[in-house]
Structure 1
Amino acid sequence: MKVSSIWEVLRVSAKLGLTSFGGPIAHLGYFHDEYIRRRKWMDDKSYADFVALCQFLPGPASSQVGIGIGIVRAGIVGGIIAWLGFTLPSVIVLVLFALLMQGFDLAHAGWIHGLKIVAVAIVAHAILGMGQKLTPDKERITIAAAAATLTLLWPAAYTQVMIILAAGLVGLWRYKRNPVIGGQTIQISVGKPFALTCLSLFFGLLLALPLLRQWVNNDWIALFDGFYRSGSLVFGGGHVVLPMLEREVVPTGWVSPADFLAGYGAAQAVPGPLFTFAGYLGALSHGIAGAVVATVAIFLPAFLLVAGVLPFWNGLRGSSKVQGALVGINAAVVGILLAAFYDPLWTTAILAPADFALAVLLFIMLVFWKLPPWVVVAAGAVGGVIIGLL
């Protein structure tokens, strides 16, 4: 492993962390441009297969892709550096925003309500884009509709996991005979013993932390458990984590519903992964140390899973059964995102006709005028102030 390779990974990932606006789907486009088209660290087919694999894994898909490319390029250290470069810029901004929220009690400000409406427009755009790609036929649209219905009618902690597993089985049954197109074999520097250790640690923490939380009445263990579980059990990443995080921090009283949605709106204004929203929540509830714990906890499952599956990737990607399961899972992710769009986003942000009008305008600015996300966020904040004055 060369120091120059690690430095190169840090330089490129930090650039992406500072400039990658637009959410997980846009991030994958930025990654392709920087890592694949410009630097050719992986061929196009291998990149597409790896993206599909990360969609199959729980956690933030775009961050997992970045971590995996970092590992391929410069080993485990490269994966850590790729994550730091892509993640830290937005974590820092959101933590500062959380401290500002605490110091000035901005939860009911008009521009904060505008940020909530921005979140409605951005998630609607994400659903539109994902739906067009991942649910192009009546079978997959049916899977998505069923996933949305079950998510809304059965809001239990493990509902999403059961939906994903069921969708994977349906995809395996329906699409397992689809042809598999191969790519080049990628050399992975991670050994299988280390990979199995990572997978064991992933499942061990997932099972042990809730028990430890019950036995030991400690806020920090509860905080780590809540965010680790959210990072471990949410498929699709990005916006899909919203309902699970809401269930972890709002009922416990750590974060108010208004502050939660205000931060989610602010998370749309910064580049990098949406999972950095955890830094905001941790800072709001437990200060700077809470931001560090929440950020590490929510991203740790992603790192353990990517490091755990990469050595087996070349074999998995050639399986028509695995790819068939992925088809069903991707359709279910669209449905889960649709459910999150309704509750809590729509139900808490669209409270009057003026809110709906602003959401439509922001959606048009984002989708049809193709304005940069930061412009849409600024317009939403100004619109929220104007609505508050009406």
Structure 2
Amino acid sequence: MNHTSRNRIPIRCALLVTPLAIGAVACGGSGTDPLADKPYDAAEQIAFSGGPKGRAADPDEPLEVTAKGGDSRITDVTATDATGRYLRGELTPDGKRWRSTAPLAAGAHYTLRVSTENADGRPGRKTIGFNTAPADRLLRVRFGPDSGTYGVGQPITAELSVPVKGRAARATVERALRVHSQPVVEGAWHWVNDRTLHYRPRAYWPARATVTARSNLEGIKVADGLHGGPARPLTLHTGARIEAVTDASAHQMVVKRDGKTIRTIPVTTGKPGFATRNGVKVVLAKESFVRMRGTSIGIAEGSADSYDLPVHWATRVTWSGEYVHAAPWSSGSHGAANVSHGCTGMSSANAQWFFDLVRPGDLVAVVGSGGSTMTPFDNGFGDWNLSWDAWRKGSALSAGVREGSGPADAARLRPAV
């Protein structure tokens, strides 16, 4: 019987009718159907490129399985690593060769299952276990912030241990960094620079949500000689939606919880030459006491604008020293005039109330100031000052991705009042 004319031998059944029993069925087969046989060991019919026994396979090389001899062919191949991830591949139409079409994971154990059939149509099976060599370099990911409860404006950050350049490599990283929230919201990664990504939703996180971030990058090839390493997952929760909006022209701050106004506070903001930044900021930290000096922001000691003050109930919103804090020395200007060096000042009682209310990740916005707009990345979390379209252009999975963007290191300066 040749390969192209394989016929299945029909099974003959007879309906036996006797005076005592009607409908009893007896079936018999010829016993020569090749599919009825137990699969044979196909070890002698296949070869694969996993390396000699005891030697690890090169994860940078494709995996190949070939049929040996002219009388057999491969019918199916599956390769999975220890985590259950399948390795994609293609089988040639003649069944003579299967080749992987995706990179193997480095430092992983794979189970290869190969199905074959011989010239008579008999099925063969072979299961092979092999290991891949460890990566030359590992790309490690550290998610931020630390686990805990945050405001609805808190971005997720991913710090990479080595720079990643080029759209293809960045896309590989992005696909492996998974963020999920409950309730579910739309979100995306944005490359701040070659080693830093931020993730935010299209709008703010829902209040009282659970957000998880994890990496599926371990073992995955990112670039030649660079594979993903292990990463600790992150889980954080959001609290109530706290928003504080300061209108610098009206000299007041409106504080809302879950959309409802809970307090309106008379404030003073930056005077001409020191105007407070407009835009959305995110609470970075809370400091119950800070020593604020004008020299820390370039004001010469002894000049008319020089200061050296003990400050209480200071809520930080930029790394360069912008706070919401108690300013009892300017109480006459609260609600009436802007006299600060860029911070938002208020009474001690209001500052302590605000300090106790907010947490990192809560939203603090300024409108109506003569200052510039808060920058997105180099002075805190100004992520929300980018439109959604502009945000998505910073993704390697978007057509507008930037490649090789420069660093955006935060300017960690001392406070201004």
Q: TM-score under structure 2 normalisation?
A: 0.24
Q: TM-score under structure 1 normalisation?
A: 0.26
Higher helix share: 1
Larger RCO (alpha carbons 8 Å, 6+ apart): 1
Higher strand share: 2
